[in-house]
Structure 1
Amino acid sequence: MTYDATLASVETYFDRTATRAWEALTSDAPVSGVRATVRAGRDRMRAILLSRMPRDLTGLRVLDAGCGTGALAVAMAARGAEVTAVDISPQLIDIARRRAPGDMRGRVDFRAGDMLNAGLGSFDHVTAMDSLIYYSESDLIAALDALAPRIRHSILFTVAPRTPLLMAMWRAGKLFPRADRSPAMVPQSAKRLGRGLTACRLVPVTRVNSGFYISQALEVVPCS
């Protein structure tokens, strides 16, 4: 699939199929055992991405690319950042706006749209937690190379790692149960991504394994 086709598929899934499930997963509401492991893994990954950024983000402009229901965007705003939080799903953006604490709403600009839109401007940091996991290797490399010239310090993002288990599940089309089918995640190799980049340099961070949630954090910094 092309980047645009994948983007449309992701929008359809989160706006029409999975809005309620995603709203529950990213809240404090009780969830099933499998979803509880995903929630715990995402909480851990969010903390890891935050740990790679300065504790004081005052005066810095940050793009949360694929912000979902807004937890990471709000956390960065609480550190003083001016956050532009973008998601392709208007439904998720509506949830994010409702959830944002009153004192944070002036620090986070929630927008529905394409996270690669050059009209968003330049940033000190970009985060993309679990929002680039559906794209092909070539589209992901192109996206990172397109973002890099607009970034001063780093792009922190996650991928599904290219492990034997995930590759077998991917080939079998079973990365998600059929009753909750999302666009297929594409397992990625950090080494292959790093070799493909031309406008920036990739640094592996760490991996989170929490039940059904298996995710690799990576960091991209502009080429010096």
Structure 2
Amino acid sequence: MSEIATYEIRRSEIETYFDRTASDAWKKLTSDAPLGRIRASVRAGRDAMRASLLAMLPEDLSGRRVLDAGCGTGALAVALAKRGAEVVAVDLSPTLIVHARDLAAGEGLSAPIRFESGDMLAAAHGRFDHVVLMDSLIHYEPDDAAAALASLAARTNGSIAFTLAPKTPLLALMHRAGRLFPRGDRAPAIVPVAIDCFRDRLEAHPSLSGWSLGAERRVASGFYKSHGMEFVRS
């Protein structure tokens, strides 16, 4: 099966989960609402990783066009807009996009952020100075994740910051146990990735010549394990 076909199948599964099954759970996870111990650890980890990805970008983004690919409830898009960026925030879930748009309006940031539901890789979104994918590639096989980065790199002038689920024995055990969420709203399987192998994959990818790996940061917060990476146009 081709990379395009497997990406599209997985994209459909993710859209169903986030838009029809667990949108309320993710709204709560990304809010200030009280949470149980497991979900609180996920929230804390996501907050730390969001800060890490933002640290990979210029503090002043005035005049820069930035794609928040897989924006969810929009916290990262809001942070980018506060730095002066023109943000295109894309998510597969129309439900989460409506919620994100409302939250941005509450922050007075409707103008600099364009929220859209659909495929984060769509060429119609145009070119960007920077792209951020926070936990947007973690449900895809390594070949599909690398192909997605190559697709975005073709339309990116500066850098791409992204996360992967690092392949560790503990992470594999937790995901086999399926304990990140209750059974009724469990996410599509997260694909743990061997980071060293993925680095080699990117460096050897024929469509990614002229790009190099930059800063990296791993976050481990209870049930949240994530590895952030920066990819920079040379």
> Structure 1 length normalisation: TM-score?
0.94
Is the counterpart of residue 201 in structure 1 residue 192 in structure 2?
no
8 A contact 1:194–1:201 mirrored in 2: no
Task: Give unpaired runs (5+ residues) of structure 1.
Answer: none
Equivalent position of 1:82 in the other structure: 86
Structure 2 counterpart of 1:92, one-letter code: L
Identity of aligned residues (%): 54
Could you say what the CA RMSD is over the residues aligned between the two structures, in angstroms?
1.5
- 1:10 and 2:21 equivalent? no
Could you tell me whether the CA contact under 8 Å between 1:190 and 1:204 is conserved in 2?
no
Q: Which amino acid aligns with 2:229?
A: L
Following TM superposition, where does structure 1 have runs of at least 4 consecutive aligned residues deviating by more than 2 angstroms?
A: 167-170, 172-180, 200-204
Cα distance in 2 between the residues matched to 1:204 and 1:136: 23
Structure 1 residues 184-211: Cα deviation after superposition (integer angstroms, max 9, x where no partner):
0001122222222221333351111111
Contact kept, 8 Å, 1:65 with 1:87, in 2: the verdict is yes
Which residue of 40, 45, 48 corresponds with 1:41? 45
Return the match for 1:192 from 178, 190, 197.
197
Distance in 1 between residues matched to 2:123 and 2:186, nearest whole Å: 31
* Aligned residue number for residue 23 of structure 1: 27
Please give the secondary structure, in 2, of the residue aligned with 1:165: helix
Residue 63 (structure 2) pairs with residue 59 (structure 1)? yes
For residue 4 of structure 1, what is the amino acid of its counterpart?
E
- Cα gap change, 1:34 to 1:133, in 2 (>3 Å): same
Q: Is the 8 A contact 1:58 1:80 kept in 2?
A: yes
How far does residue 167 in structure 1 lie from its aligned partner after superposition? 2.9
Name the CA distance, whole Å, in 2 between partners of 1:110 and 1:102: 15
1:108 to 2:119 alignment: no
